[in-house]
C-alpha cells in the first residue's frame, strides 16, 4: 500500500521532516516516490513551520494513498491555515 508519511532529517535534537509518498514496506527514511513538502516542528516563526503541495496530496489520496495519523493532523491544520487568510483578504 502507498502511504503519505513523515521522513526524518535534521541533526540530533533538531528534527526536520519531509512529507513523502512511499510504499509502506520501505524504511522510514528510505526510498520514496515523491516529496510533497516539509514540516519543521521547531521553526521560530509559525509561517515556515509547514509547507505542503496540496494538489499533489489530493492526487495521491485519490489514487488510494493513505496518510499517517500525524500527517492527517498536519494536513487538516494546514488546510485550515491556508483557508483563513484567503477568507480575510
What is the DSSP annotation of 10-34? EETTEEEEEEEEEETTS-TTS--SE
Give the model's pLDDT for residue 86. Answer: 60
Question: Computed from CA positions of residues 7, 10, 15, 16, in that sequence, does the dihedral angle turn out positive or negative?
Answer: negative
Q: Using one digit for the tens of pLDDT, what is the confidence trace for 22-74?
A: 998 988 888 899 999 999 999 887 668 999 999 999 999 999 999 999 999 99
Q: Which superfamily is assigned to 2-88 in CATH?
A: Ribosomal protein S16 (3.30.1320.10)
Check: CB of residue 3 under 8 Å from CB of residue 68.
yes
Amino acid at each position: 500500500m502507498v502511504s503519505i508519511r513523515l521522513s526524518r532529517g535534521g541533526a540530533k535534537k533538531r528534527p526536520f521532516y519531509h512529507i513523502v509518498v512511499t510504499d509502506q514496506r520501505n524504511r522510514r527514511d528510505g526510498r520514496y516516490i515523491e516529496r510533497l513538502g516539509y514540516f519543521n516542528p521547531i521553526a521560530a516563526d509559525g509561517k515556515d513551520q509547514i509547507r505542503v503541495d496540496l494538489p499533489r496530496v489530493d492526487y495521491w489520496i485519490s489514487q488510494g494513498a493513505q496518510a499517517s495519523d500525524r500527517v492527517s493532523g498536519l494536513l487538516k491544520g494546514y488546510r485550515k491555515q491556508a483557508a483563513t487568510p484567503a477568507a480575510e483578504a
